Structure 1
Amino acid sequence: MKNESLIIMVGGASSRMKRSLESTTLDESTKKIATAHHKSLIPVGKNNRPFLYYLIENAVNAGYKKIFLITSPENKAFHDLVNADYFSFDLSVRFAIQHIPHGREKPLGTADALQQCLDQYPELKEGYFTVCNGDNLYSVGALKDLKADRNAPNALISYGSSGFEFTDERILKFAVMDISSDGFLQGIIEKPESGEVEKYKDETNELRVSMNIFSFSGEQVYPFLENCPLDKVRSEKELPKAVANLIKELPKSMVCIPRSEHIPDLTAAGDIRLFKNLE
C-alpha cells in the first residue's frame, strides 16, 4: 500500500472562531486575519506563520509528497501561503475547490468536499490517501501511522481521551468510537450523551475518540461519499456519516490505530495563544 498524499480540508466558514474574537485580547492585526480568512491561516508561533504551515511541516516530516488543499473558490490567501519565501518544502501542493451547489448558500459538507476533490483529481480514486482537518495540529507520528501498511483498506486514528488536555465537557463534544475486540471500527457516535459514554470504553477503560483523521482507499470510499445522505439538522453531507455507512456495508474495512496524545486545535479565538511557542 503506497500512501504519499494528504488531503487537508480547509474550506469551512470558521464560524465559532469568528464569533469568539470580540471577547479576546488578541492584537488587531490577528483579529483582522481571523475575520477575513479561514482560521488555519491565522499567524501563530514564534515566527508568526500561518497555523496551516505547521500542519504541512508535520506532513512533510511524516513522508508525504503530495498535499491537496480543499478550499472555497476565494482562496488567494492559501495560494499566498504556498508561494511565500519561507514555504520551501519539497512537495507538490494542489488545490481542490469545493463549489456550492446551485440553490444553496453554503457548502454541502465534508463528505461533499472530499468527493469534489476526488472528482477533480481522479487519480486519487485509484490509490490510498490520508484526510484531515486544517484546524488540528496532528503529530508527525499520527500522520506516519496512516501511511504504514495495515490489514484493512481504510484506517483512522483512535485517540485515547486521557491523553487530551481538553475539559471533559469539550471531549464529550467529539465523536466517540465503537471498536471491535480485534481493532476494527464498528461505529462513530457524534456527541454522545454523558450516560452512554461508559459503554464505549475499551478493555483498558479508555474512551476512544475520533479527531477526523483518516486514511482511505479511494476506490472503496468514493461510492459512500457520493451517496452520503444529508444530515437532518445541518442539511450537509458529513464525512463521519459516509464512514458509518462504509463500515456498515463493509465490516472490518476500517482499522483503528490507537494513539494517546494531545491534539492542539483552533476552535475558538482563545486557542490562538496556546501556539505561542511553536517554532
Structure 2
Amino acid sequence: MLNKKVLSIILGGGQGTRLFPLTSARSKPAVPIAGKYRLVDIPISNCINCNLKRIFVLTQFNSASLNRHVKNTYQFSLFSEAFVDILAAEQTPENPTWFQGTADAVRQCMHHFNSHNYEYALILSGDQLYQMDFMDMLHAHINSGADITVATQPVKAKDASAFGILKTDEHHFIRTFTEKPPQDQLAGWDSEVSEEMEKEGRLYLASMGIYIFNRTLLEDVMFNTNDVDFGKDIIPNAITGNKKVLGYQYEGYWEDIGTISAFYEANLALTDDIPRFNLFDKSKSIYTRGRILPPTKMSGTFVERSMIAEGCIIHAKSIERSVIGIRTRIGNDTIVKNTYIMGNDRYESIEEIEKAESEGMPHLGIGNRCEIYNTIVDKDCMIGDDVTIKGGEHLADTENEMLVIRDGVVVIKKGAFIPNGTKI
C-alpha cells in the first residue's frame, strides 16, 4: 500500500518571535487554537486522515509542553505499525550543535528515519492551519516522476512579498524561485493557475513549506551538502541544479499563522456560519488530547456566533464572535466580544475562590462586570472585577509585565494578574 511507503516528518518550529508572548513559554506548534486544540494537532490530524500513521515530530525550542501534549495524545494499538514519535534536538559526537534550520533538523535525525522502510518523506510545518489530502499530492508527485514536490498556494500580488514565490512551466515543474520579492519586482512571476484563482487575482504561487522528497534524493542532499534550510537553500538549489521539482497547487484554506493578528483572525474566523477551516467535517477530523471534563454550564448569557469549549462555567451578560477555551470561568454581567480566551489548565477549589474574594483579589478566570473586546487572553489569567480591555487600532504597539499589544490586538500574557478596576 502506498501509505506504507511514506514517512511523515513534522518540524516543531523555532522561537516563533512574531507570536510573542504566546510563545514565551511554549513553541509555536504548542500554542492553543480553537479553545481545545494545539497547532501541532493540525498536521498530525491531516496525516492520520490520509492513513499516514508513521509520524515523527522534531522539537527543540520551548518544547516541554509540546512533547507532553504529543506523548499524552497520540497512542495507537500495540499491534499496528502506527506511531507519533518525538525527536527532541540532541547533541551527539557527530552533531554537537542544536538544530540550525529546518533542513539541519532533518539531517540530524536521519539516522532515526533510516531505521524505517520508506520511499517518500513528507515534510510538514508544525504551525499552519489547513485541511489537505496528502495522498493527492503524493500521487501527483509519483505520476510526474518528480524528485521533489513543493505544495504551493496561489496568492495575490499584495501578499506575495511575504512568501517564497515559485514560477512553474506548462507541466507544473518549478523553473525559478525568489524569496519574498518586493512589490515592484513581481512582473513576470505570475504562473498558470485555475480559472477561479485567476478571477480572484491570485496569480503568484507561494511555497507552503510542505514538501515530498524521494528518499534517495533526501539522503543525497542531507549527507552531501551543508544546507540548513529547505526554503532558502535546498529547494532553490534543487531547481537550479536541474532536479525535477514539481509545484503542487493547493487551492483550499491555508493559513501560515506567523503573527499575532493572523493568529487572532484565524481563531475568530472559526465562528463564521460556514468557516473555511471546518472543524465539523468528519472526513477531516482534528484530533487532540481527550480530556474528561464536564459539559459547559451557562447562566443568563446571550451568545452570538461563538465557540465554547467543554468544562466552562459562564455567567457573562453576552459573548459575541468569540472563542472560549476549556475550563474558562466568566463572572456576572461581563461582556466578551471579538475575543479569544484560551481557558485554564486547572480548576480552582471553592476554598481558593472564597479566599481570593475575601481578600479582594481576582481568582482564576474573568471577574464580574468586565468588558473584554478585541483581545487574546492566554491561559490561567486572573482578571478582576470591573476590568475594561478594549483592543483596537487606536492602541499603539506596547509591552509590559501584563500584556502585549500588536496591530491593535491586546494579548494578556499567560498567568497574568490584572487587578480590579483596571482599564486598558
TM-score, normalised by the number of residues in structure 2: 0.53
Q: Deviations over 1:112-146 (max 9, x none)?
A: 111122233214685202111111123223x2333
Which residue of the partner structure matches residue 129 of structure 2? 137
How far apart in 1 are the matches of 2:238 and 2:179?
Answer: 16
Deviates more, 1:215-224 or 1:120-129: 120-129
Mark the CA change 1:195 to 1:174 in structure 2 (over 3 Å): closer, same or farther: same
3-state SS of paired residue (1:84):
helix
The alignment status of 1:121 with 2:113, answered yes or no, reads yes
Which residue of the partner structure matches residue 81 of structure 1? 69
Which residue of the partner structure matches residue 211 of structure 1? 208
Mark the CA change 1:98 to 1:180 in structure 2 (over 3 Å): closer, same or farther: farther
AA matched with 1:115: R
3-state SS of paired residue (1:157):
strand
Which residue of the partner structure matches residue 156 of structure 1? 150
Match of 2:58 among 37, 50, 70: 70
The alignment status of 1:267 with 2:261, answered yes or no, reads no
Mark the CA change 1:120 to 1:182 in structure 2 (over 3 Å): closer, same or farther: same
How far apart in 2 are the matches of 1:173 and 1:258?
Answer: 18
Higher percent of residues as strand: 2
The alignment status of 1:221 with 2:214, answered yes or no, reads no
Greater length-normalized contact order (CA 8 Å, ≥ 6 residues apart): 1
**Residue-pair matches, total:** 249
Aligned-pair CA distance for 1:92 = 0.8
Q: Deviations over 1:160-212 (max 9, x none)?
A: 115xxxxx554312000021222112232111122221211124562111111
How far apart in 1 are the matches of 2:234 and 2:64?
Answer: 30
Mark the CA change 1:222 to 1:246 in structure 2 (over 3 Å): closer, same or farther: farther
How far apart in 1 are the matches of 2:178 and 2:85?
Answer: 32
Deviates more, 1:68-77 or 1:183-192: 68-77
**Does the aligned pair in 1 maintain the 2:163–2:206 contact within 8 Å?**
yes
3-state SS of paired residue (2:143):
coil
Unaligned runs of 5+ in 1: 22-30, 163-167, 231-236
AA matched with 1:156: V
How far apart in 2 are the matches of 1:76 and 1:244?
Answer: 33
TM-score, normalised by the number of residues in structure 1: 0.77
Unaligned runs of 5+ in 2: 271-277, 280-424
How far apart in 1 are the matches of 2:222 and 2:185?
Answer: 28
> After superposition, where does 1:1-279 map in structure 2 within 5 Å?
3-18=5-20, 21=21, 31=22, 34-46=23-35, 48-72=36-60, 75-84=63-72, 87=74, 91-99=82-90, 102=96, 107-123=99-115, 127-141=119-133, 143-148=134-139, 149-151=142-144, 152-162=146-156, 169-204=158-193, 206-228=203-225, 237-240=228-231, 241-251=233-243, 253-273=244-264, 274-276=266-268, 277=270, 279=279
How far apart in 2 are the matches of 1:248 and 1:96?
Answer: 32
Identity of aligned residues (%): 18
Q: Deviations over 1:251-275 (max 9, x none)?
A: 3x22211222331232122333322
Mark the CA change 1:54 to 1:120 in structure 2 (over 3 Å): closer, same or farther: same
Q: Deviations over 1:60-114 (max 9, x none)?
A: 11221111111118633233212335x4667411222334764x6x631111111
Mark the CA change 1:176 to 1:139 in structure 2 (over 3 Å): closer, same or farther: same
**Does the aligned pair in 2 maintain the 1:156–1:256 contact within 8 Å?**
yes
AA matched with 2:113: Y
Let me know the Cα RMSD of the aligned residues.
2.7
**Does the aligned pair in 1 maintain the 2:27–2:61 contact within 8 Å?**
no
3-state SS of paired residue (2:51):
coil
Aligned-pair CA distance for 1:216 = 0.4
How far apart in 1 are the matches of 2:122 and 2:165?
Answer: 20
3-state SS of paired residue (1:70):
strand
How far apart in 2 are the matches of 1:160 and 1:126?
Answer: 31
